[in-house]
Amino acid sequence: MSANKSRTSMRSNFRFGSLIVRLQLVTFSLIILLNCLHLSSPRGQVHASLISSGIVNNILTSGGPSSNSDSFLSKLFVAPSSVLSSSKSPAQNAPTPASDPCYDSFGKPRRCITDFVNAAFGKEVQASSTCGTPPTRYCQTTYDSESQPIRNCFVCDDNHPKRSHPVQYLTDLNNPNNVTCWQSEPFIEEKNVTLTLSLGKRYELTYVSLQFCSTRPDSMSVYKSSDYGRTWTPFQYYSSNCKAVYGKSSRVAISKANEQEALCTDAHLMSNNLGFSGLRNSGGSGRVAFSTLEGRPSAFDIDNSVVLQDWVTATDIRIVFNRVRAAEGDDKFPHDGSSGILSNSLLDSQQQDLYATLNVASSSSQSNNNNNNESIMSYSGSPPPSTSLHLASKLRESQYYALSDFAVGGRCKCNGHASKCLFDRTGKLVCDCKHGTAGNDCEKCKPFHYDHPWGRATAREPHECTVCNCNQHSRRCQFSMELYKLSGRKSGGVCMNCRHNTAGRHCHYCKEGFYRDSTKPVTHRKACLECDCHPVGASGKTCNQTSGQCACKEGVIGLTCNQCAKGYQQSRSPIAPCIRTPKSAQELNGIESTENENGKCSTCEVMSRRVNQRKYCKKDYVIQAQLLSRDTQGEWLRFTINVVSIYKRGHGKIVKGDQYMYLHQTDYTCKCPKLRLGQQYLIMGRYHSGGDENVRAIDDHKSAMIINADSTVIEWKDEWARRLRKFHKRERKGRCKRPALEGTTNAEQNGEEEEEE
C-alpha cells in the first residue's frame, strides 16, 4: 500500500514539475522570439540575452517539457532568418536605398545591426570521435510505466542510414518529430571528445546551446576563437567538481575587472532527468545553454565596453567533453564515488577481451536484426549475474556522448555599419558595409575615406568615414589625429601625391614654380600654370602664387622678367642683364626729361624723400601699398595694389586689401612718378573732383585713387611707420587745420622737416 502511495505521489510531483517547466520554456521562447524580431532596437540583443540568461542555465538544463513546447523552442533555436523569410522573393528581401536601415529618412547615417540568427545552422562541425566505423553497440536506459529502468541496446553503423549518427546531424534543421543525433564512440572516458564549429566569419554571440540525446556529461568546457582557430579562449566550464577538474571555483563574483573571465558551474546537473524527451521516451529535455552576457556588469553599455565587445566576438566554437556521467538505472554498476562517474578499473585490466566481446556482439546483432529494428537486447529490473568481463562490457556500452542540436545564437559582426551579411564572389561571408567603411567586419574605413577616424557605430554617433577633400587632384590620403584634434575634430585627412602641379594638405595651392590661374576653379586640372620665369632676367624659378610675377633682378621688369626697365639698358652679363644708362647733365642737376609718343614730356621735379607733417597734411590719403599688376583702361593705366596700411583715409573708400589705383599713360611714360611692380611704396595723393574729362572716364572717379606728377610716391621704409602714426594722432588733435601751418615760411617749414627727420 505504501509503495502505491509513493508511486502516486511521485507521478503527481512529476506532472506538476513538467507543467512548471513547460511554462518556463514558453517564457524563454517568447524572449528569444522578441530578440529575433527586435532588430532595430539598439539594446535589443543585450536586453533579451540578459533577461533570458537566468533561464538559459537554470531552466533549460532542467527536464520535462512536452514535445509541443520543445518543438517550438527547437524551431526558435535552429531556424535562421533565411528559413523564416524564405517565402519572400529576392526583390522583397533586398532593401531599397530609401529603406536602408543604415540611413534615416533624411539620408543621414545611423547605427544599424544585422539579423539575429542561428549562426551554426548548416555549418560543418569537426568531431574527434563519431561512432559507426566499425559498427559499434551502445545502450540506453529508459523507464517503464512504473518508473522501472529498462536497458535498450542498439548498433551504430555508418553503412546503414537509419543506424548512423554522423556529425552533420548537429547543425541540420532540428525537428523534434524526427530527432537526428550525432554520437561519439562508446567508451571514450580515457580521452576527451571535441566538437569544433567554424562560423566562417566573426559573430557577436548571445548564446551557445547544446541539446543532448544522451545523459549530459559530468564535465565539459566551451571555448571560442576570434582568429579562425589559431588561438582559443575559455568561454564557460561545466562540472560537478569545478575545483578538481578545471581548478576553478564554482562561486566567483563577476565585476568589471573580470567580466571577460570564463566561469565554472554545475547548473547543467541540477535536474533529475538527464535524457532527451524526444528519444525513445526517455525523460528530460537535456538542453544546456550558455548566455555570453549573463551577469556581466557592462552588458547594458556594451557600445562603450571594448572588453565585452571582444568577449562576445567569435569565429569558431569548440566544445570539449571531459568526463561522462552514469545514466540513471546504471547505479548497480561500479562507480568511482564522484557524482556518478563510471569507474574504469575493470576495463583497464581486460581491455583486449572487451574489444573481442564487443565485436562478437556487434556481428551477431547485425545478423539477427530484421525489419530495421535497432534494438538488439533489453531487460528490466536488475542486470543478470555476470562475470567482471560481462559487467565491464555493459559499462563500456553506456559511456558515450550524443547530441541532437548544436546552436549558436548571435549576429553577424559588422560594428554597426551594415544591416546584412552577403557572400562575396569567392563564397566568403562578409558584411554589406555602409557609412564609408570596408573590411569583412566593416572594421576600417575604405580607401580615400580618412577625413574622420574609424569608430564602431553607436546609438549616439554613427562614426561615418568621410571622403578626404583633395579638390580632385589626388586619389590617396591618410588620417592625422593631430590635425584632427587641431581642427576641432572636424577634419583629419591629409592628401598624398597631389597631381596637376598642386600641393598642400588639400591640394589647394600650386606647388613651387607654378601660380594660380584665377580664371579656372581650384578643382580644374589646369588651375596651376607654370611661372615661366626668364632664365637670365629672373632671380629664380619661383613666382608669386597669386599674380604669377617672377622675382626680377635689378633693372629688369615684366611678368616673367624679360625686359629692361626705363633708364636701364641691356648688357651681356647674365649676372646683371640690365644696367643703368648714363645720366645727362640736366639729370645731374635734378631735372629729368624724357620723350613720349607725341614728342617731349613735361619736366618732373625729383621727389624729396623726406616725410614730414606738412606733406602729410596737404594730402587727402596716405597709404602703404604694394604694386601687384597693371592693365590698360583707355588712356589710363589701372594698377592693382595691395593696401598694407592706411595712415590717412580722407573721404574716400580706401580699405585694406586689393584695390585699384590709376595713373595716366603720359605720366607713366615720363616716369612721373617711377613705379615698379612688386615694390612697396608710400603713396600720398589727392582725390579728384572730376572736372577733367579724362578723369570722368574712370569708374567711380570721385573716390578713385589717382596719382600724377603732384603725388608723392616713395619706396617704402619701415622706419616711417612710427612717424606716420604720430602724424595721424596729430591730425586727430587738429594740427592739420591750424591756419599758421598754411602760412608758415619756408624757413619754418624746413625747420619742421629737420625736426621730423
Residue matched to cell numbers 568589471 = 256
CATH number of 17-83+107-128+168-176+184-325+397-408: 2.60.120.260
**Three-class secondary structure of residue 365 per DSSP:** helix
The distance from CA 541 to its chain's CA centroid, rounded to whole angstroms, is 45
Query: What pLDDT, on the 0 to 100 scale, is given for residue 613?
Result: 86
Per-residue pLDDT, 43: 37
Instruction: With cut-offs at 50, 70 and 90, classify the pLDDT of residue 600.
Output: low
* pLDDT at 549 (0 to 100): 94
**Could you read off the pLDDT of 719-737 as tens digits, one per residue?**
888 999 999 888 888 888 6
- pLDDT for position 753: 44
If residue 246 lies in a helix (H) or strand (E), which one and from where to where? Answer: helix 242-246
User: What is the band of 21 on the pLDDT scale with cuts at 50, 70, 90?
Assistant: very low
Measure the CA–CA gap between 439 and 200, rounded to whole angstroms.
Answer: 14
In sequence order, the 6+-apart residues with CB closer than 8 A to the CB of 278 are 67, 70, 176, 177, 179, 404
pLDDT at 512: 92
What pLDDT is attached to residue 447?
Answer: 95
Q: Give the span between the Cα atoms of 325 and 273, in whole angstroms.
A: 13
Flag whether the pTM goes above 0.85.
no
Residues constituting the chain: 757
Contact in structure between 218 and 343 (CB atoms under 8 Å): no
Q: Give the least confident one: 565-574, 576-585, 620-629.
A: 576-585
- Average pLDDT (532-536) is 93
Residue 10 has pLDDT above 80, yes or no: no
Residue 661 has pLDDT above 80, yes or no: yes
End-to-end CA separation in angstroms for the chain: 136
Residue 76 or residue 598, greater confidence: 598
| CATH architecture classification, 585-756 | Beta Barrel (2.40)
Among the ranges given (8-22, 278-292, 444-458, 600-614), the one the predictor scored with the smallest mean pLDDT: 8-22
| pLDDT tens-digit readout, 389-448 | 555 566 677 788 999 999 999 999 999 999 999 999 999 999 999 999 999 999 999 999
Q: Give the mean pLDDT of 58-65.
A: 35
C-alpha span between 167 and 180 (Å, rounded) = 10
pLDDT at 365: 39
Task: List, in order, residues 6 or more apart from 489 with CB less than 8 Å away.
Answer: none
What residues contact 309, with CB distance under 8 A and at least 6 apart? Answer: 204, 302, 456
pLDDT tops 80 at residue 62? no
The residue ranking higher by pLDDT, 583 or 697, is 583
When comparing pLDDT for 254 and 598, which is higher? 254
Q: CA dihedral defined by 599, 602, 604, 605, rounded to 10 degrees?
A: 140
- What would the pLDDT profile of 139-188 be if each residue is shown by its tens digit? 887 778 888 888 889 999 999 988 999 999 999 998 888 889 999 998 76
What pLDDT score does 690 carry?
A: 52
The cell numbers describing 187, all together, are 567508451
Contact partners, residue 671, CB within 8 Å, separation at least 6: 566, 567, 592, 594, 604
Listed by start position, the domains of the chain span 17-83+107-128+168-176+184-325+397-408, 531-580, 585-756
AA letter at 681: Y
Domain 531-580 falls in which CATH fold?
A: Laminin (2.10.25)
Name the maximum alpha-carbon separation found in the chain: 154
On average, the pLDDT of the chain sits at 75
- Using CA atoms, how far apart are residues 564 and 580, in angstroms rounded to an integer? 10
- State the pLDDT at residue 659: 86
Higher pLDDT, 663 or 229: 229
Dump pLDDT digits (tens) for 67-113. Answer: 333 333 333 333 333 333 333 333 334 444 558 899 999 999 999 99
DSSP string, 276-315: -TTSTT-----EEEEETTTT-TTGGGGGG-HHHHHHTEEE
What distance in Å separates the CA atoms of residue 622 and residue 337, rounded to the nearest whole number? 110
pLDDT higher for 516 or 583? 516
> How far is the CA of 112 from the CAs of 101, 423, 461, in angstroms?
6, 19, 11
Of 698, 720, 719, 718, give the one whose Cα is nearest residue 708: 698
pLDDT tens digit sequence for 244-258: 999 998 888 888 888
pLDDT at 388: 52
**Of 8-17, 315-324, 698-707, which range is least confident?**
8-17
Q: Look up residue 451 and give its DSSP letter.
A: S
pLDDT digits 0-9 by tens, 535-564:
999 999 999 999 999 999 999 999 999 999
Q: What is the pLDDT of residue 288?
A: 92
Mean local confidence (pLDDT), 595-603: 52
Q: What is the rounded CA–CA span in Å between residue 278 and residue 64?
A: 11
Helices (H) and strands (E) in the chain, counts: 18, 39
Of 15-19, 393-397, 664-668, 751-755, which has the strongest mean pLDDT? 664-668
Q: What is the pLDDT of residues 30-43, one digit of tens each?
A: 544 444 444 333 33
Per-residue DSSP letter, 659: E
Pairing of strands 263-265, 233-239: parallel
What pLDDT is stored for residue 694 in this prediction? Answer: 57
The predicted pLDDT at position 149 comes to 83
